[in-house]
Amino acid sequence: MSDYDYLVYTDGACIGNPGPGGWAAIIRGQDGSERILAGNAVRTTNNRMELTAALEALRALPEGVRVLLRTDSRHLADAIEKGWAERWRAHGWKRNRRERAENSDLWEQLLAELERRTVRIEWVRSHNGDPLNERCDAIARQEAERATGVDAGYELAKAEQQELLLSNEPSRTHHAAIECRAEVGGTVVITDGTNSVRLERWQIPELVYDLTKLLTS
């Protein structure tokens, strides 16, 4: 460890993926000191917890220091060491012409923290007898099991995705509220607030039948 000021182990866990998640980081200094950081979210993903663990660990360290960061997340290690994350950022957070890079909010913050320090990332095999990796994994799992926090980035991304899906549905293009009401004499009025149609009660079953055929054809 003589080439580094800090040795850092990070890990993330998720029950369900997406589901309740937890993250943990163990930070050891040259002087033998040790700090443990941890957190959780009620709804998140495993990759987001892995990224959050690395991000929060680096944020806790001074700028300009040398760090050896060990993780059992191949995705995290490869994306940094092989330059994938930097390429995604250079291309507007796109993996290719069609696919967007997931978790760009965390990747952007993590890259910024990496640039403020000299960091080497090492991948370690999980559950392979490394004491610090085992401890980190246990803490992250405990956090997931008692999760009460909020992953704001995950919630925002899901809300934006849902809004996009709704905006692309033809039936919701105008976001009109359909109202049906009965008038004196038995006439039924169906309106969206702008246009209206009046039907006699005996016409409604025929209309429903025609709409069903249209939607299933």
Looking at residues 38-51, what average pLDDT do you find? 97
Predicted confidence at residue 173, as pLDDT, reads 44
- pLDDT band at residue 204, thresholds of 50, 70 and 90? low
Q: Which residues are catalytic?
A: 11-12, 50, 72, 127, 137
Q: How many CB atoms lie within 10 A of CB 183?
A: 9
Helices (DSSP H) in the chain: which residue ranges?
46-59, 74-81, 84-90, 104-115, 131-145, 152-167, 204-216
Q: What percent of the chain has pLDDT over 70?
A: 78
Looking at residues 138-166, what average pLDDT do you find? 88
Task: Identify which of 30, 72, 27 has the alpha carbon closest to the alpha carbon of residue 49.
Answer: 72
Residue-wise pLDDT for 117-126, tens only, equals 999 999 999 9
Provide the angle, in degrees to the nearest 10, between the axes of the packed helices 74-81 and 46-59: 60
Which two tokens mark 112?
Answer: 């910024």
pLDDT at residue 86 is higher than 60: yes
Looking only at the bridges linking them, the beta strands covering 6-14 and 19-29 are antiparallel
SS3 label, residue 72:
coil
Q: How many CB atoms lie within 10 A of CB 23?
A: 32
Predicted confidence at residue 167, as pLDDT, reads 61
Q: What percent of the chain has pLDDT over 90?
A: 67
The pTM of this model reads 0.76
Residue-wise pLDDT for 157-195, tens only, equals 888 777 766 666 554 444 456 666 666 666 777 776 667
Burial 66-81 (b: 16+ CB within 10 A, else e): ebbbbbbbebbbebbe
More confident of the two residues 113 and 206: 113
Domains and CATH numbers, the chain: 6-167 (3.30.420.10), 176-216 (no CATH)
Tally: H helices and E strands in the chain? 7, 8
CB of 140 within 8 A of CB of 24? yes
HSE (CB half, 13 Å, CA atoms) of 137?
Answer: 15
